């Protein structure tokens, strides 16, 4: 009987993944990862507003434990707090310092869930590892999930082919509604549990208040890029991303401004009026940290520049550097991942290093 170690998050997706594998006759073991120290910054210790609450991470563990008891599998717990800090959180802070918009969930999959976790699973005797990701694996290819609204291949596109060996995605062929239905039918306590949103280590806390613990605020000017006039003040460039409108706090008739760029050296946030303003659009990017999962190397395919963005038709220029060309896409942002697809096959991804328009690098990004 093949042994599978399932990453149990305390959510409904991993719960149903474990249930399905158990019903299919696998020898299933659950493994819960603790990746963040929730006592940092008095998040849950000494905070009068949270004194009567259990830390969400501990609640997740308790939920995972109850699920494992219900379906009759053991649950182990492993601590990756240091590794998460070194490989994910440090990257997150470094990208913000550069004025870029990071995606720590991608790095968590690359360095923690499909590396550290996989090694621990092998120590437990695993033949396979499994997670509750909405994705599929067929003939060595990473494919989008059947539920396109929940598809998570965007967050898996930095994984190597080696990391995807002996991996199972049990719910990748299911709609989310079916997953919840199965959880309810089998009496799992996570059946109606709300999906986690946002960055895992921030949780429900205010982004600005959290970051103040690690990066000093550097307020500066907000400048209209077309008139070069100061139209307001920002609280720190790290709190803004390209295409953002809400949170600029310009007031009055200025609420139609959108963030279009940053000058980190001068500490300026550039904005432009209107959601169709040309300064919001670009037509080419240079990628770094490019990772290919598939052996396919098409010159024409599709891409996503943000999670849940509609696919964009692109052309790839291969060489010592890899450029991706497209037709006038809005709010393409340095630091985010460009994920490439051929139909349902996820080809791989790269980090957006530079953004261009009409073959000129956008200096304000």
Which one of 55, 68, 200, 346 is the catalytic residue? 200
- Per the listing, tokens 């991804």 go with 349
In contact, 173 and 146? CB cutoff 8 Å: yes
Which one of 55, 68, 108, 301 is the catalytic residue? 108
Give 110's DSSP letter: I
Give 115's DSSP letter: I
Tokens of 297: 């190397």
Active site residue 200: yes
In contact, 290 and 365? CB cutoff 8 Å: no
Rounded Cα distance, 249 and 258, in Å: 11
Rounded Cα distance, 243 and 230, in Å: 19
Beta carbons within 10 angstroms of residue 30's beta carbon: 23
Active site residue 108: yes
CA distances from 344 to 14, 17, 95, 169, 178 (A): 23, 22, 30, 15, 21
Tokens of 301: 């395919």
In contact, 147 and 169? CB cutoff 8 Å: no
Tokens of 192: 């109606």
157 contact partners, CB below 8 Å, separation of at least 6: 106, 142, 291, 293, 337, 339, 340, 346, 348, 349
Active centre residues (catalytic): 108, 200
């Amino acid at each position: 009987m093949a042994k599978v170690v399932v990453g149990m998050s305390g959510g409904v997706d991993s719960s149903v993944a474990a249930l399905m594998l158990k019903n299919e006759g696998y020898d299933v073991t659950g493994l819960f990862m603790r990746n963040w120290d929730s006592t940092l910054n008095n998040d849950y210790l000494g905070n009068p507003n949270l004194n009567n609450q259990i830390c969400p991470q501990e609640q997740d563990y308790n939920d995972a434990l109850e699920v494992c008891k219900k379906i009759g599998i053991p649950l182990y717990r492993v601590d990756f707090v240091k590794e998460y800090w070194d490989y994910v959180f440090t990257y997150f802070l470094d990208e913000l310092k550069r004025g870029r918009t990071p995606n720590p969930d991608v790095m968590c999959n690359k360095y923690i869930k499909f590396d550290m976790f996989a090694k621990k699973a092998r120590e437990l005797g695993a033949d396979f590892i499994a997670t509750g990701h909405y994705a599929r694996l067929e003939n060595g290819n990473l494919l989008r999930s059947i539920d396109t609204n929940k598809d998570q291949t965007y967050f898996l596109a930095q994984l190597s082919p080696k990391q995807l060996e002996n991996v199972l995605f049990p719910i990748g062929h299911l709609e989310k509604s079916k997953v919840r239905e199965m959880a309810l039918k089998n009496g799992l306590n996570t059946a109606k549990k709300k999906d986690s949103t946002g960055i895992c280590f921030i949780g429900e806390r205010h982004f600005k208040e959290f970051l103040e613990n690690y990066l000093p605020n550097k307020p500066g000017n907000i400048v209209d890029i077309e008139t070069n006039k100061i139209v307001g003040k920002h609280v720190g460039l790290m709190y803004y991303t390209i295409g953002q409108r809400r949170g600029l706090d310009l007031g009055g008739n200025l609420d139609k401004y959108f963030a279009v760029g940053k000058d980190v050296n001068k500490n300026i946030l550039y904005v432009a009026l209107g959601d169709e303003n040309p300064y919001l659009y670009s037509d080419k990017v240079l990628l770094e940290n490019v990772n290919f999962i598939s052996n396919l190397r098409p010159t024409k395919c599709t891409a996503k520049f943000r999670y849940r963005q509609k696919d964009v038709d692109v052309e790839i220029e291969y060489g010592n550097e890899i450029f991706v060309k497209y037709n006038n896409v809005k709010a393409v942002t340095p630091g985010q991942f460009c994920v490439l697809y051929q139909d349902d096959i996820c080809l791989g991804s790269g980090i957006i290093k530079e953004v261009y328009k009409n073959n000129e690098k956008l200096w304000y990004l």
